[in-house]
Amino acid sequence: MAKAFSGHLSKLYLDGITSLSVTQAEWLSKHDYGLSLNGIKSITNEALQKLLGSDGDEYETREPIFINGLTSCSDEQAEAISKCQRDVFINGVTSITDKQAEILSHHKEILTLGGLTSLTDKQIY
């Protein structure tokens, strides 16, 4: 499925998908247009790295990726997001650590964390 959709030439909404294998994530990472995977609540570090193209590959800026169902973020996932050259929407995440905030601050595109319910002073300054 993911291989077939990787060549789709417009925005791709797969919000009913609840999980991705590393292979599927790698194929979907090749999709240059908007990608919506809002049904994913958790994802392995490796799969997220492949999906975001942040495993050492240098991609030029592409259309945004929406993973608003994601409810938590590990340090490794924050690192993958920080290296991603897409706008990233992860509005389901409700809290992050100071370390994750520092890592995410290096993301150069739009990053939305609209679900955060609090911030520490260290995360703001």
Tell me how long the chain is: 125
Separation between Cα atoms, residue 53 and residue 65, nearest integer Å: 11
Mean local confidence (pLDDT), 33-57: 87
Tokens of 123: 């995360």
Banded model confidence at residue 56, pLDDT cuts 50, 70, 90: very low
Ranges of each domain in the chain: 2-124
- Per residue in 86-104, pLDDT tens? 999 999 999 999 999 999 9
Separation between Cα atoms, residue 86 and residue 53, nearest integer Å: 9
Amino acid sitting at position 31? H
Evaluate if residue 59 carries a pLDDT over 60.
Answer: no
- Per residue in 26-42, pLDDT tens? 999 888 889 999 999 99
Question: What is the percent of the chain where pLDDT is above 70?
Answer: 87
What's the confidence (pLDDT) of residue 119?
A: 93
pTM, whole model, 2 decimals? 0.87
Banded model confidence at residue 58, pLDDT cuts 50, 70, 90: low
Separation between Cα atoms, residue 26 and residue 4, nearest integer Å: 12
DSSP letter string over 9-46?
A: SS-EE-TT-----HHHHHHHTT--S-EE-TT-S---HH
Mean pLDDT of the chain: 90
Mean local confidence (pLDDT), 48-66: 75
